[in-house]
Amino acid sequence: MSSAIAVLTLVGAMISAGPAAADSIRDKEYWLGEYGITKAWDASKGAGVKVAVIDSGIDGKHPDLKGAVVGGTDVSGAGDSKGEKPIGAKPEHGTLVTTMLAGRGHSTPTPSASASASPSATPSKPAVGNGLDGIIGVAPEAEILSVSTWLGSPNPGGPTDQEQIPAAVRWAVDHGAKVINISLGSTSPEWPQSWDAAFLYAEQKDVVVVAAAGNRQGGNVQVGAPATIPGVLTVAGLDRKRIASIDSSSQGISIGVAAPAEDLAGGMPGGQYAQWAGTSGAAPIVSGVAALIRSKYPDMSAKQVINRIISTAKDAGTPGKDPIYGYGILDAEAAVKATVPEVKTNRLGSIAEWIRVHRRGVLDTPSAQPSSVQAAPTPTLKDPKAPVAAAPSEIDATLPAAVVIGFAALILAILIGAGVHLWRAARRPIQGGANPGDGTDTSSIDVVKDSPKDS
């Protein structure tokens, strides 16, 4: 197995960016109504759940993220200590992802009311988020942990993806994340062994890990790591017609669910907005739904959360689970509200079991060794006597010498015979003319004349 990821990229493509009317950008969030998210808000908005976004850093000062980012770090050596400095090949990526996951929206200041205006004319606070303008996320009351990484180009800070990803996952788990969103991927289904322990740690600490499947347009024809890691909820992408996106979704057996990946809208650093596409945007939609579930059912295990999402998905493509839609198309309302039987295991697999089978071992912390040395058990068999080597026979000892002498005598006889032959040849007179070449030769050579050219 390869020990390195060949290409690690942020799996989203920005289509257009720049100043946009905040009130019009809200109208572009078609997934809120079409995928049951607004109806799911009747039961939960994600309050009390920390979601870690492992990405390119988040602009926590974006108007739609006011109060959303509650902590963070940088594992690249190139960002700031809070993980809020956009870095990497696509520095805007993390802010786009986060606004879709947990944006609060905002209220656009209006001209000062006249003195005669009635106090009742002041609009009331909306039921969801901080205002009617801007991006509202799937889990608008969830708390965000920003873990900035430098991916997609050589890291000036030093650490490689093999070092950054496990460090990011461990930090997120240690700081209370109940859901981790990873909107990045590679062109290889394999992952470095250095990632094993971190994803095992997340599994053991009961954290839901959501990853993007990758984009064909970006070179990811098949799902790449970390979306291939057992137990991770991998998200494929759909177009506006709820059909697998040709450009914005890879395929693979690890896909768990499909969500919107085209005609997306999100916030950009500096308070701007953009339309974009990619499974990078599909993943935070599903991560947001996971936060809604964990908020409504705080004692529910990660495997049950994942089971609710994939069990309530609407089947698409080949009946049953398939490598394009996984278990089907996301239904947020059903995932939050439906009655779903419990499962004993994560239906998407277990990294612990994978390590046991494929790495030939486990990565659990070894138990402490006893301080005193235990006495060796009493042997049950008598001490065996050491075997005694038999003396070599005289035939074995004399045979090699006889062989050598025999070959030497043979060679000497050949040399003597050759000498006698040459002595006799020297004494024989040359027959023929003056040219030695006309005389008798020991070899037979047929000289072939040039053949006539074809006419």
Active-site residue numbers? 55, 93, 280
Q: Report how far residue 264's alpha carbon sits from residue 34's, in angstroms, rounded to the nearest whole number.
A: 13
DSSP labels, 68-101: TEEEEEESSSSS-TTS-S--SSSTTHHHHHHHHH
**Contact of 212 with 8, CB cutoff 8 Å:** no
Rounded-to-10 torsion of CA 14, 209, 207, 323: 150
The answer to whether the CB of 175 falls within 8 A of the CB of 137 is: no
Amino acid at 21: A
End-to-end CA distance of the chain: 66
Nearest-Å Rg of the Cα atoms of the chain is 38
Gap between the Cα atoms of 257 and 222, Å rounded: 15
Closest CA to 288 of 335, 236, 346: 335
* Structure token pair of residue 438: 């006309």
Task: Say if strands 184-186 and 8-10 run parallel, antiparallel, or are unpaired.
Answer: antiparallel
Q: What is the residue-wise DSSP string for 260-307? A: E-SSEEEEETTTEEEEEESHHHHHHHHHHHHHHHHHHSTT--HHHHHH
Dihedral sign, Cα of residue 331, residue 263, residue 283, residue 2 = positive
**Half-sphere exposure of residue 134, counting CA atoms within 13 Å on the CB side?**
28
The number of residues in the chain equals: 455
- Residue 344 CB coordination number (10 Å): 6
Sign of CA dihedral 21, 128, 208, 303: negative
Chain-centroid distance, C-alpha 315: 26
Is the Cβ–Cβ distance between 304 and 344 less than 8 Å? no
Longest dimension (CA), the chain: 145
> Does residue 107 come out as left (phi exceeding 0), alpha (psi in the -120 to 50 range) or beta?
beta
